[in-house]
Amino acid sequence: MAASRTLSTFRLLPLPTIPEIIKLFRLQAVKQLSQNLLLDLRLTDKIVRKAGSLTNAYVYEVGPGPGGITRSILNAGVAELLVVEKDSQFIPGLQMLSDAAPGKLRIVHGDVLTFKIERAFPESLKRQWKDDLPNVHIIGNLPFSVSTPLIITWLENVSYRNGPSAYGRTQMTFQKEVAERLTASTGSKQRSRLSITAQYLCDVQHILTIPGQAFIPKPEVDSGVVPFTPLTQPRIEQPFRLVERVVQNAFQFRRKYCHRGLGMLFSEARRLESTGKLLRLADVDPTLRPTQLSVLHFKSLCDAYRKMCDEDPHHFAYNFREELKQKSEKRG
């Protein structure tokens, strides 16, 4: 009890402001690493509050940069904060933060795309999937260049319960450009592969919009804060790779009727017949556009596709790009 009171009242030792740190270490935004920085600590506090209570939590921050969000996380009374930053220019400033928060901040100079978070925190934090949420969070103002592959990988981890999800239903809160795409509802223009993949595995909400001018340099689009809470029971109970295949193909031609993209799941010779069978089994109207398909529609499509793949495993091995390539080679 006494320990938790000490932790929750933790404050950082006095530090230069983020703009002073930028000046001191002559930091410069690198476009290739999508460095759109947040310097306003009131805003970073607000973002961090949206992640819920972080008291005594173990937090993994992706791309801390000069450390704005990092400070807000430390001030939220966490047990430990682990940050992974690729750009070496930010490491001395982060080291300064670490000195001001003894024993709280672990800095890894590395790449989030390869970092293994499942081994980073104590085993004792692990919870069963259906139990309460573990006190482990991922937070990040995601670098634009890697945000989509990163989110897809973490969603795959939710599905297979590995990576950050090895601790149980680890919550993730991201600051992401085009946050609307993650939370877009059926029929919305922003509906995409990312919306379906996020929404069949997690509860996702767009809870705060951050205008472009809050960042230095200003990005082209506004962004939003989106917390993800993994569901105890996914809305589609099929292997992640199968769902991904169906969703990716459905959105192949996003302005056309859905049968057009879904047809690409099947070899050209049997496309018409197999697509018809898939849509009949799933009871989905072939003239709906991909953006009009609900998660429930995708559930029916995935279940029907699974049935067809069980009957004929060639379906799952088929790749229309490979077929096109072979054809053009023959012609060549």
Which residues contact ligand SAM (rule: CB under 6 A)?
A: 33-38, 63-65, 68-69, 84-87, 90, 111-113, 141, 143, 146
Q: How far, in Å, CA of 226 to CA of 291, rounded?
A: 21
Q: Are 306 and 241 in contact (CB under 8 A)?
A: no
To the question of whether residue 329 is assigned a binding role by annotation, the answer is no
To the question of whether residue 38 is assigned a binding role by annotation, the answer is yes
Q: Are 100 and 70 in contact (CB under 8 A)?
A: no
Mapped onto helix, strand or coil, the DSSP state of residue 83 is strand
Classify residue 209 as left (phi > 0), alpha (psi -120 to 50) or beta.
Answer: beta
**H or E stretch including 140?**
strand 136-141
Q: Are 74 and 90 in contact (CB under 8 A)?
A: no
Nearer to ligand SAM, 149 or 187 (CB): 149
Residue nearest to ligand SAM (CB): 63
Buried b (16+ CB within 10 A) or exposed e, 39-65: beeebbbebbeebeebeebbbbbbbbb
Q: How far, in Å, CA of 151 to CA of 298, rounded?
A: 20
To the question of whether residue 85 is assigned a binding role by annotation, the answer is yes
Nearer to ligand SAM, 85 or 318 (CB): 85
Minimum CB distance to ligand SAM, residue 278 (Å):
38
Minimum CB distance to ligand SAM, residue 33 (Å):
4
Nearer to ligand SAM, 43 or 247 (CB): 43
Minimum CB distance to ligand SAM, residue 226 (Å):
15
Minimum CB distance to ligand SAM, residue 149 (Å):
10
Nearer to ligand SAM, 224 or 261 (CB): 224
Reading the block at residue 325, the tokens are 């390539």
Nearer to ligand SAM, 87 or 244 (CB): 87
Minimum CB distance to ligand SAM, residue 9 (Å):
25
Annotated binding site: 36, 38, 63, 85, 111, 141
Annotated binding site for S-adenosyl-L-methionine: 36, 38, 63, 85, 111, 141
